[in-house]
Amino acid sequence: MKRILKRILPETLVDRIRHSGPFTRKVARRYARSSKRLDICAAQLAHYLHLSNHPPLADKVCLEIGSGWVLSHAVVCYLLGARRVIATDIFPYARPQALYRAVHDSIVYLPRDILSPFADHSLIRKRFDHLLSIRHFSFEALSRLGIDYVAPIDFAKVALHLPVDFIYSISAFEHVPCADIPAVLRNLVVNLRPGGTMIHCIHLEDHKDSLNDPFAFLSIPSDQYPRTQQTLRGNRTRSNRWRQLFGALENTESTFLYEWTRNDRDLPARIDPSVLNSGEADLRVSHIGIYTTKSPAGRMQP
């Protein structure tokens, strides 16, 4: 039914529904009980910190790009002792009330054990117990934890004007229109302290049906794939192009943490020429993780 409605309703109306209060609350509640459960997000962030051999986040300023409906990853940074976490998004999706379920539906010992290689176990326990004591999550309650929500903000147009130590995103960059990616990356690096780091985990499949038809969008002519489609279904930027974009950033060094490939589904017979790629292997990459370090002597915006 949802797919039928998407096909028959005007795109502007679908977009308005997606940003409505009732829709975002419903989505937040669903995610809080599933992929945004705090123990799941703790495992996810710990995995990326492990792959990158990342230094501790204690007393660091963290910046999340594309925080979505539930601010669980920002709360994980709090558990790790971050001094401040700035959770951001291009639209004000977040519903902090959903965090109650994300916290209480978790298996309580898992975040403590999973995160213990990166912070003191007793301090993680103390912080998690404090989360359990919060009856009503709100932006004010999060601010008291050191978590601030900034939305809307478009990093293609502005920088944050705040020096940060660690920037991360999980399945966010694939929604950035192609034309905006270089500016977004430059503005993020500008705000990164010398010696600071970034981890960006990017999903390269067609979000319309990533399970069964992950490459369908690669065949669509560029004039039929505007910015709105790039945001909804994915910008179609392939792995090799991401290497070039991150490699072009001044005063930084980037490495791939992982690169996963889908071989169980066919590529389209025709690949649109606007989809820059280095061949079939590049087209088939489904997920990448990129770790970036800013040079200790790199410039930072005051």
Model confidence pLDDT, tens digit, residues 217-262: 999 999 999 999 999 999 999 999 999 999 999 999 999 999 999 9
Residues 6+ apart with CB under 8 A from 257: 48, 51, 52, 199, 289, 290, 291
Q: What pLDDT shows up at residue 298?
A: 54
In whole numbers, what is the pLDDT of the chain averaged over residues? 93
Q: pLDDT class for 25, splitting at 50, 70, 90?
A: confident
Q: Looking at the predicted structure, is the pLDDT value of residue 1 above 50?
A: no
Q: What pLDDT shows up at residue 10?
A: 46
Domain ranges of the chain: 2-294
Distance, in Å, from the CA atom of 71 to the CA atom of 212, rounded to the nearest integer, reads: 29
Percentage of the residues of the chain whose pLDDT score is greater than 70: 91
Residues 6+ apart with CB under 8 A from 75: 38, 41, 99, 102, 103, 131, 142, 145, 147
Q: Looking at the predicted structure, is the pLDDT value of residue 2 above 50?
A: no
Q: Looking at the predicted structure, is the pLDDT value of residue 6 above 70?
A: no
Q: Looking at the predicted structure, is the pLDDT value of residue 13 above 50?
A: no
Which of 9-18, 46-55, 217-226, 283-292 has the least mean pLDDT?
9-18
Distance, in Å, from the CA atom of 137 to the CA atom of 72, rounded to the nearest integer, reads: 12
* Per-residue pLDDT tens digits for 26-58: 999 999 999 999 999 999 999 999 999 999 999
Strands (DSSP E) found in 151-246: 164-170, 192-203
* Residue ranges in 117-272 assigned as alpha helix (H): 121-133, 139-144, 181-191, 227-233, 239-247
For domain 2-294, the question of CATH label 3.30.930.10 is answered with: no
Q: Torsion-angle region of residue 94: left (phi > 0), alpha (psi -120 to 50) or beta?
A: beta
Q: Looking at the predicted structure, is the pLDDT value of residue 289 above 70?
A: yes
* Per-residue pLDDT tens digits for 87-112: 999 999 999 999 999 999 999 999 99
Q: How buried is residue 217: exposed, middle or buried, by Cβ count under 10 Å (0-12/13-18/19+)? A: buried
Q: Looking at the predicted structure, is the pLDDT value of residue 272 above 90?
A: yes
Rounded to two decimals, the pTM is: 0.91
Angstrom CA distances, 271 to 64, 227, 260, 264, stand at 33, 19, 20, 18
Q: pLDDT class for 161, splitting at 50, 70, 90?
A: confident
